[in-house]
Amino acid sequence: MVNVCDLQVMKPLLAEYGFHFSKAKGQNFLIAPWVPQSIAEQAGVDGTAGVLEIGPGIGPLTQQLALRAEKVCAVEVDERLKPILDITLGDFDNVEILWDDVLKLDIPALVEERFPGLRPMACANLPYYITSPILTALLEAECFDSVTVMIQKEVAQRIAAAPGTPDYGAFSVLCQYYAEPELLFEVPAHCFVPQPKVTSAVIQLRVRKERPWDIPDPELFFRVVRASFAMRRKKLSNGLASGFPELGKTGAAEVIQAAGFDANVRGETLGIPEFARITNEISKRRGL
């Protein structure tokens, strides 16, 4: 197997095909072999798994996934990497590369087509400039067993943050609605070339099979969450009144009281069950 994390191997390989890193595509390639090994291992990839990888680059994580999974489907937007991946993944017959932008794909359809009978998982060292849209798409696809990704450490902390802490926000709620996040390990900048300016972290999101809340209208729930965080330093009633003009200030205050909260409560202290109560109160009033 080509040791793609070895700079003595990587540099001549990239030079041979005239490849230059694209900052715009978020290209920071791994040069520490323990990282892709640990990601594949701790993700729990095994012979029952069909793994969707986003952004294989020159294939360090793809190799580790392919050694463990039944099938790997890797989506890469940069076609300049094609001749290099032909070499670095040449030993594997269970890897398929799709040359596309992951955000343009119908992920549930792809998973159904490529991984019949397998346990679908997503695994990636994500391009940091589009971490949130990719994670949102992977979670909203509602077809993975788990999503294990390397991202900027601060974003990982935001995803796993608890209500009432400074890192907690609408993105924490979105991720925690779909999955249970766990920070696995940190990865220092010197493990990549070129080195990013930030520390990275690997986070696993174990997708919930059942959600333990009564949320009949998820679309309304997420509208409530967005409105509640839009005016972070203000009372929840201000955020709700502005996000739901149809309620007005009085209606927003009534909803908060009917849901059992203090009139001065702030959105950032509420967890998913509390946002659910607010949502269901708004629903009730709409039904009147």
Q: Binding residues for ligand SAM, per CB under 6 A?
A: 25-30, 54-57, 60-61, 75-78, 101-103, 125, 127, 130
Q: State the minimum distance, in angstroms, from the CB of residue 172 to ligand SAM.
A: 23
User: Distance of alpha carbon 278 from its chain centroid, rounded?
Assistant: 26
Separation of alpha carbons 57 and 104, rounded Å: 18
3-class DSSP state of 190: helix
Q: Can you tell me the distance from the alpha carbon of 227 to that of 72, in angstroms, rounded to the nearest whole number?
A: 39
Residue carrying structure tokens 């360090």: 60
Residue whose CB is less far from ligand SAM, 101 or 214: 101
Shortest Cβ distance from residue 276 to ligand SAM (Å)?
33
Q: Smallest gap, in angstroms, from Cβ of residue 29 to ligand SAM? A: 4
Q: Nearer to ligand SAM by C-beta: 57 or 169?
A: 57
Nearer CB in complex with ligand SAM: 31/278: 31
| Euclidean distance between CA atoms 25 and 156, whole angstroms | 20
Q: Which is nearer to ligand SAM, 197 or 209 (CB)?
A: 197
Instruction: Report in angstroms how near the CB of residue 76 gets to ligand SAM at its nearest.
Output: 5
With CA atoms as reference, report the closest residue to 214 among 165, 171, 278, 154. 278
Residue-wise burial string across 135-167, b where 16 or more C-beta atoms lie within 10 A, e elsewhere: bbbbbebebbbbbbbbbbbebbbbbbbebeeee
Closer CB to ligand SAM, 30 or 203, in the complex:
30
Least distance to ligand SAM, CB of residue 288, Å: 45
- The CA distances from residue 83 to 58, 87, 91, in Å, are 10, 7, 14
> Closest CB to ligand SAM among 54 and 225?
54
- Joined tokens for residue 216: 């009949």
- Least Å from the CB of residue 44 to ligand SAM: 19
Q: Using CB atoms, what's the residue nearest to ligand SAM? A: 55
